[in-house]
Amino acid sequence: MYYCGLNRISMSYDIAGLRTDYKNRKLNRKDVGSDPALFFSRWLQEAIDNNLPDPNAMILSTCSQEGMPSSRVVLLKGIESGKFIFYTNYHSNKGRQLSENPHAALTFFWPQLERQVNVEGTVEKTDELTSDAYFQSRPRKSQLGAWASNQSEEISSRNELKKKFLGYAMKFVGKKVDRPPHWGGFALTPSRIEFWQGRPSRLHDRIVFIRQDDQSWRIARLSP
């Protein structure tokens, strides 16, 4: 285990003075329509069309039973029936927290488009057929990695991980790599989705969808 001291870092530039004045786009109520998943898909497609790096990257925030928050970047892998789909090791820190506390939040940030989307809701595991289908679409080495990595657990060295990877590579030589039972998908059903468009002078556009029932949303503009 490694430890490091916390010392004040001297920098040659002024972090507090770093800022961007957003001025290239705007967001009106009429733009968003009545279906937040559909409008989100439009924004995501624009990020893809503009060749943004990792346009489907999102910050997944979870919380333990004790209320301790955790965040990390994961990849969105689909939107189905308005639900946001991603995959992980169910034994990982995020997997355990989602099993203990199914409330989660997603944040997408596309700085080149001066846009952010915040999604809040509850998660449930995808069915096994959905997880199987996605797992088989992954590169073979990624499939082997899912077996080799006890995600979030301590290891003695990187060589330990490499040995486990090679062991599973030998085990599955000439065979299909089956999905590990501890690996699969989560689907987040949103209760709140906020679209943020950067505007000049920090007077940003913020439009939020708040779920009323299974079929309807309340839509409002928020002060920046």
For 89, half-sphere exposure in the C-beta direction (CA atoms, 13 angstrom radius) is 15
Q: What are the backbone angles phi and psi of residue 88, rounded to the nearest 5°?
A: -165, 175
Structure tokens at 213: 């029932």
Cα-Cα-Cα-Cα torsion 69, 75, 80, 83, nearest 10 degrees, comes to 10
> CA torsion sign, 85 to 91 to 92 to 93?
positive
Contacts of 131 (CB under 8 A, 6+ apart): 87, 125, 179, 183, 184, 185
Is 121 strand, coil or helix? strand
Active site residues: 202
> CB–CB of 70/97 below 8 Å?
yes
Q: What does the DSSP 8-state code read for residue 178?
A: P
